[in-house]
Homo-oligomer: A and B are copies of this chain.
């Protein structure tokens, strides 16, 4: 009981400072994401994070417990949106073909914005304690997996999709999208091109939609 009251008080205190807390917390997450994106890495140094965000790195401990907590919070920020997007999409009153097209475009755009997303997900799965890894599976992987299964089933039952394994399809699609991470690295270090342009993103989005849709639609 004492524990509960203490928690409640702490939570009220946190709420009272919401504006400040929120913005410093968000700034740390934003800076972490930028460092990962621009450095083609998911390795964070607290000093770089502090420099980039303009905030004392002690705030990492305050808001997230430690660096791993911050990385988990970043994963949550970026993945929650992706999970909501596909869950919402699959539930809509729309043809399965159209849903898959929308989804493909969304995945490409997500990985263009957060090229580190898949690496971060895998790192957290590998390095977190087993209970956290199971939580990640419950919160992100299983809902996405269910959404894929539902979408494929719908398309197959309507006779528009080939009978593909939804999990394998998920691997193919996110694998393809994940290539932005590599593409940036290769362009930057081997060809001295500074970044993946929006034109390249648009071309790759169209390419992915064309390839996967032709790959799955019944002829």
Interface residues of A, Cβ cutoff 8 Å to B: 40-41, 118, 122, 125-126, 130, 133-134, 136-137, 141, 162, 164-165, 168-169, 171-172, 174-179, 181-183, 185-186, 189-191, 203-204, 207-208, 210-216, 219
Contacts and interface: CB of A to CB of B under 8 A. Distances in A.
B130 A164 contact: no
B219 A189 contact: no
A185 B133 CA distance: 10
Interface of A is mostly: helix
A146 B98 CA distance: 35
A185 B216 contact: no
Contact of A171 (B40, B176, B190, B214): B176
Given A41-B126, A133-B190, A172-B207, 12 more contacts: A40-B126, A122-B185, A130-B189, A136-B190, A137-B191, A162-B210, A164-B210, A164-B211, A168-B204, A168-B207, A172-B208, A215-B215
A189 B132 CA distance: 10
Interface centre among A137, A165, A185, A215 (most CB of B within 10 A): A215
Contact of A210 (B122, B177, B182, B215): B215
